[in-house]
Chain A
Amino acid sequence: MITGHLGVAAAAKSPAREIPLWVLMLATLWLDVVFLPLLLLGIEEIDDLPGTDGGYGNVIIHADYTHSFIGAILLSIAFGVVAARWWGGRAGFILIGVAFSHWVLDLIVHHADLPFMPGNAGDLPRFGLGLWDVPWLAAIVELLLLIAGAWVYWRAAREVTAGREATVRMRAHLLAGLMVVFGVVVLLTDVYIG
């Protein structure tokens, strides 16, 4: 899931208007941003779901540090603390929530591959509600999150541009429209190309 996370970032702009959209997007993807170098180093891994050739939803993700419950909390707090230096304490708290929303959404779609402790210490049961078992449904949920996020963003953007010149007001509509179009492109490449 990527597009759904971006929808959450867009929606978060409404209550956190002082935070740039790119920062909200970085926050919502933060666990994956840290995951990428660990993947390249072989510390975390992605395997095909047994009996499949991989692709959208057909993967077991061994992100045992970045996507463990405790690891996700620690990474989210770290992101919020650093961001608070630029955008203030309130923004920092919001960004902690936005960053941790990644784990919550992943919990819904992932197969049971999310550990509780970093490195799966204690060999506790792993989490994952497995919406990816029905890939088309997972994709629809992502699309709905994107559309809902773009709509909330659009409403906030309309508020702050009300009474401004037509060109400024038009930017709000343009941005929300592009958000949906680009989001659909991201979703389609995720589902069909990877």
Chain B
Amino acid sequence: MAFVLALLLFVVVLGVLDRALPWPSAGNGGRGR
């Protein structure tokens, strides 16, 4: 159970923070947003 929670924490928190970075989107030819 602790393992699953730690894994979920990893995926959810880092997934949200990753979305806050200006990565290029699939539709803009690789240019940052």
Q: Are A and B co-members of a single complex?
A: yes
CB atoms of B30 and A18 under 8 A apart: yes
Q: What string of 1s and 0s marks CB contacts (under 8 Å) between B1-33 and chain A? A: 011001101111111011111111110001010
Taking a contact as CB atoms closer than 8 A, the residue among A91, A160, A178, A190 that contacts B21 in the complex is A160
Q: How far apart are B33's CB and chain A's nearest CB, in angstroms?
A: 9
* B21 CB to nearest chain A CB (Å): 6
Residue of A nearest to B25 (CB): A18
Indicate whether A183 reaches chain B with its CB closer than 8 angstroms: yes
Q: Is the interface of A mostly helix, strand, loop or mixed?
A: helix
Q: Roughly how many angstroms separate A19 CA and B18 CA in the complex, as a whole number?
A: 10
B18 CB to closest chain A CB, in angstroms? 4
Contact B14 A171 (CB under 8 A): no
Q: Given the known A-B contacts A160-B32, A171-B17, A174-B17, are A17 and B24 also in contact in the complex, defined by CB atoms under 8 Å?
A: yes
Q: Judging by beta carbons under 8 Å apart, are B6 and A189 in contact?
A: yes
The contact string, 1 if C-beta is below 8 Å from chain B, for chain A 84-126, is 0011100100000000000000000000000000000000000
Q: A87-B26, A88-B26, A185-B6 are in contact. Are A22 and B21 (CB under 8 A)?
A: no
**B-contact bits for A169-194, CB 8 A (1 contact / 0 none):** 00110110011001101100110011
The 9 closest A-B pairs by CB, nearest first: A22-B15, A21-B18, A18-B26, A189-B3, A182-B10, A87-B26, A189-B6, A186-B6, A193-B2
List A residues at the B interface (Cβ < 8 Å).
2, 6, 13, 17-22, 25-26, 86-88, 91, 157, 160-161, 164, 168, 171-172, 174-175, 178-179, 182-183, 185-186, 189-190, 193-194
* B binding-site residues for A, Cβ under 8 Å: 2-3, 6-7, 9-15, 17-26, 30, 32
